[in-house]
Chains A and B, each alone.
Chain A
Amino acid sequence: MSANRSPEPGATNRRTAARDDGVREPAAHASLRAWLGQHAYGALSSLGRLWQRRAATLLTVAVMGLALALPLLLHLALRNLERYGGSIQEARELSVFVAPGSDAKAIGKLETAIAADAAVESVRLRSPDEGLAELEALPGFAEAVALLEENPLPTVLLVAPRAGLASDAMAALAGRLGALPGADLVLYDLEWRERMTRALALAARLAAIVAAMLALGALLVVGNTIRLDVQGRAEEIAIVQQLGGSDGFVRRPFLYAGCWYGLFASLAALVGCAVALAALAGPVASLAESYGSTLGLVGLDLETVGATLLAGLVLGWLGAWIACGRHLARGRPA
C-alpha cells in the first residue's frame, strides 16, 4: 500500500522541478500576474468569439433575456400589488360608530376604554366635519354634500388592531368594542383583507414556480449554446488536452462565454423591464388617480438589479459548466 503511495510526493517534486527548468517564473507575483493575465485573456477572447458570431449570440441572449425578464416582471408586479395591499391596510381598521347625541366627554371615555383593550394598537378620532370633508374630496360627491343641510355623519373612532391578529381574535375584538357604552356600531372588513393576503401568497408561490421553470429554461439555452460551441471546437479542445491543458484551462473560455451570455441576458431583461415599466407608468398613474391615489409603480431598485445580474451570471456559468463536463472526459484515457 505504502509502495503504491510513494510516487505521489516524488511526483509533486518532479512537477515543481519541471516547472523550474521548463517554465521559469522570476517571482510569485509574476506567476500571479500570468494567472490573472490568463483569466483576462479568457474573458476577452470569449467575448471576441461572441462578437464574431453576433447574430447567434444575439439570439441566445434574446431567448435567455426573455426567460429572465418574465420572472423579473412577475416580481415587480407582486411588489406593486403588495404595496397596494399595504396602502389599503386601513381595511384592517375597525370603525366604531359613536352613538348619536354623545357629548365630548362620553366620546373621550369611549376612546380611553377602547385604547385600554390589549388587542388595540391605536385609536384615532374622526369628527363628523372631517368625515364630511373626506366625502367631499371623493370624485362626484362634492355636489351631493353641498345639498346636505346638516352633517348627517356620526363621530367615528378608527381602531387599529395589533398586527398579526387572527380573524377570530378580530371578531372577538369587534364584539368587545360593540359592547362598550357609547358605541353604536362596529364595522370591519376582515375577509377582504384575508383574501388579499392569501391571494398575494398564492401569486408569490406561482411566481416562484414560474421563475424556477424559466431559470431552468435559461440554463438549458446557455447550456445548449455552449454545447454546440464545444462540439464545434472539439478538435481544438482535443489538441489543447494533448498539449497538457488541464480541464480548468479547457473549460475556462466556455465558462467565460456562459458568464457573458448570462450578463448580457440579464442586462437585456433589465432594459426590457425598464421599458415595460415606462410604458405602464402612464396608465397606472391615471388609474390610481381615478381612485384618488397618487401611488405610482415601484420600479427597479439597486437590489433587484444586482440580483438579476447575479442570477444571469450564475445561470450562464452553471449552464456552461454542465455543457463542458461530458466533453472533457473524452481527452482522458479509459
Chain B
Amino acid sequence: MIRFESVTKRYPSGQEALREVTFAIAAGEFVFLTGHSGAGKSTVLKLVSLSERATRGAVLFGERNLAKVSARGIPAIRRQVGQVFQDHRLLMDRTVFDNVALPLVIAAVPRAELEKRVRSALEKVALAARERSRPVELSAGEQQRVGIARAIVAKPPLVIADEPTGNLDPTLAAEIMALFATLTQAGTTVLVASHDLPLVQRMKKRVLVLDHGRLIDDFRPVPPPPAHVAAAIESVRP
C-alpha cells in the first residue's frame, strides 16, 4: 500500500527531517509510527498525504510514485487518504453531520447516498445521536471521534492519523486507538503517528521507530497463537 524507498526530506530551512528512510506497509496493516518529537513522524504522514514532497527517494502509494503526481492530481490522491489530526481540525461553524459529510460533498456523492454513509460512519464512532450538534458542544474525545468518522466516511483505502490521542486522557486515548484498530477489519490500512509509547506497546501492533529522521527499528509483535493452540498451551501449563 505504501512504500518509502530511501526517502530523504530536507525542509527549506535546511533541517533534515528524514534520512534515507525505507519501509513498506501492506494493505490492511495497522502500523504505529513512533519516536521523540521532531523525529520525523509528521513528515512521513505529510509525504503520504502530499502535503510535502520528498527531497530524494520515492514515496509510492499503491503503485503510484507520488513524486510524479502533478499539483492538479494532488486532490485525487488526498481523497484516497483519510486524515485524522491531533487538533481534529473540524469546522466549528458546522454540525457534526456536515463535518463528516465534507469528504462526500467534495466527491460529489448524491445526497441520499451521502446521508446513508454519514450515518453509518457516525454509528461506527458511536456518535449517531449527536449528528445535529456542533463540535464545540462535544467533549475532546467526541470531537476526535467526529474527526475519525470524517476520515473513514469516504471509505479510503488508507487512513493516517497524526497524534490522534495527543490531547486526550489515557482512557479516552485507549478508546480512540481501539477504534482505529477496528478499521483494519474492513481492509483499511491504518498508519498512526504517536509518541505515547505505553499505549503503542499495549496495542501489540507493528511499530516503526524514528530517531532524528532515521528509521531505527521496525518492530513486529509476535502474533498471538491461534485459539486452539492457545487452549492447548493453557491445558499443559502446570
Partner-binding segment picked from A186-194, A238-246, A264-272: A238-246
- A333 is contacted by which of B52, B103, B107 (Cβ under 8 Å)? B52
| Chain A contacts for B113, CB-based, 8 A | 24
Q: Please tell me if the beta carbons of B79 and A14 are within 8 angstroms of each other in the complex.
A: no
Report if B138 contacts A (CB, 8 A): no
For residue B62, which residue of chain A has the nearest CB?
A14
Give Cα A245–Cα B83 distance, bound, in whole angstroms. 13
- Tell me which of A22, A25, A30, A243 contacts B155 (CB under 8 A): A22
Report the bound CA distance from A238 to B78 in whole Å: 13
Q: CB distance A246 to B110 under 8 Å? A: no
Cβ proximity bits B45-61 to A, threshold 8 Å, 1 near / 0 not? 01001111100000000
Contact A334 to B53, CB < 8 A, known contacts A243-B78, A246-B75? yes
Instruction: Write the chain A residue with the least CB distance to B52.
Output: A333
Given A37-B111, A38-B105, verify A243-B71 contact (CB < 8 Å). Answer: no
Which chain A positions have C-beta within 8 A of B12?
334
Which B69-89 residues have C-beta < 8 A from chain A? 69, 71-81, 83, 89
Q: Across the interface, do B76 and A244 meet the contact criterion of CB distance under 8 Å?
A: yes
Distance in angstroms from B214 CB to nearest chain A CB is 22
Known: A7-B65, A23-B109. Is A333-B51 also a contact (CB below 8 A)? yes
In the complex, whether B28 has a CB less than 8 A from a CB of chain A is: no
Task: Compute the total of residue contacts between A and B using a CB distance below 8 Å.
Answer: 102
**Contact across chains for B74 and A37 when beta carbons are under 8 A apart:** no
- Distance A246 CA – B150 CA, assembled complex (angstroms): 17
Contact among B62, B65, B71, B103 with A244 in the assembled complex (CB-CB below 8 Å): B103
B12 to chain A, nearest CB (A): 7
Residues of chain A lying within 8 A (CB to CB) of residue B232: none
Task: Decide yes or no: A245 and B75 within 8 Å by CB, A11-B64, A333-B51 being known contacts.
Answer: yes
Q: Is A35 an interface residue (CB 8 A)?
A: yes
By a CB distance below 8 angstroms, the chain A residues around B69 are 11
> Does the CB pair B78–A11 fall under 8 Å?
no
B49, B65, B74, B81 — most chain A CB neighbours (10 Å): B74
Interface size for A (C-beta < 8 A) is 37
Please, which residues of chain B bring their CB within 8 A of the CB of A37? Answer: 108, 110-111
A244 engages B89 (CB within 8 Å): no
Find chain A residues with CB under 8 A from B103 CB: 243-244
B202 on interface, CB distance cutoff 8 Å: no
B79 and A34 form a contact (CB under 8 A): no
A117 interface contact, C-beta 8 A: no
Q: How many residues belonging to B are interface residues under a CB distance threshold of 8 Å? A: 43
B108 with A244: CB separation less than 8 A: no
Interface assignment of A15: CB less than 8 Å from any CB of chain B: yes
Cβ-defined contact, B154 with A242, below 8 A: no
Nearest chain B CB to A143's CB is how many angstroms away? 80
Q: Is A275 an interface residue (CB 8 A)?
A: no
Contact of B91 among A10, A236, A245 (CB under 8 A): A236
Our pick among B51, B53, B71 for the contact of A242 (Cβ within 8 Å) is: B51
B63 at the A interface (CB under 8 A) = yes
**B68 sits at the interface (CB 8 A):** yes
Contact A22 B53 (CB under 8 A): no
Most buried by A among B62, B65, B73, B107: B107
Q: Is the CB of A34 within 8 A of B109?
A: yes
Asked if residues B64 and A10 are in contact (CB atoms below 8 Å), the reply is: yes
Query: Chain B contacts of A31 at CB under 8 A?
Result: 108, 110
The complex places the Cα of A35 from the Cα of B107 at a distance, in Å, of 9
A33 to B65, CA, bound (A): 34
Q: How far is the CB of A11 from chain B (nearest CB, A)?
A: 6
CB contacts (< 8 Å) of B157 on chain A: these are: 18
The interface residues of chain B lying within 8 Å CB-to-CB of A11 are: 64, 68-69, 73
Residues of A within 8 A of B106 (CB): 240, 243-246, 249
Which residue of chain A is the closest to B111 with respect to CB atoms?
A37
Which residues on the A side are within 8 Å of B110 (C-beta)? 25, 30-31, 33-34, 37
Contact of B80 (CB < 8 Å), options: A7, A18, A34, A333 = A18
Cβ of A15 and Cβ of B108 under 8 Å apart? no
Cα distance A10–B62 when bound, in Å? 11
Cβ contacts A19-48/B at 8 Å (1 or 0 each) = 001111100001101110110010000000
Which chain A positions have C-beta within 8 A of B50? 333
Q: Using A14-B62, A332-B71, A333-B52 as known contacts, say yes or no to A22 and B78 having CB atoms under 8 A apart.
A: no
Sample (12) of A-B pairs whose CB atoms are under 8 Å apart: A7-B65, A11-B69, A11-B73, A18-B80, A240-B106, A241-B78, A242-B51, A242-B83, A243-B103, A244-B76, A245-B106, A334-B12
Residue numbers of A with Cβ under 8 A of B are 4, 7-8, 10-11, 14-15, 18, 21-25, 30-31, 33-35, 37-38, 41, 235-236, 238-247, 249, 332-334
- Shortest 4 CB-CB contacts between residues of A and residues of B: A244-B79, A244-B78, A246-B75, A34-B108
16 new A-B contacts at CB < 8 Å, known A244-B80, A244-B107:
A8-B68, A22-B107, A31-B110, A34-B108, A34-B109, A34-B110, A41-B105, A241-B78, A242-B89, A244-B78, A245-B75, A246-B106, A247-B72, A332-B71, A332-B74, A333-B52
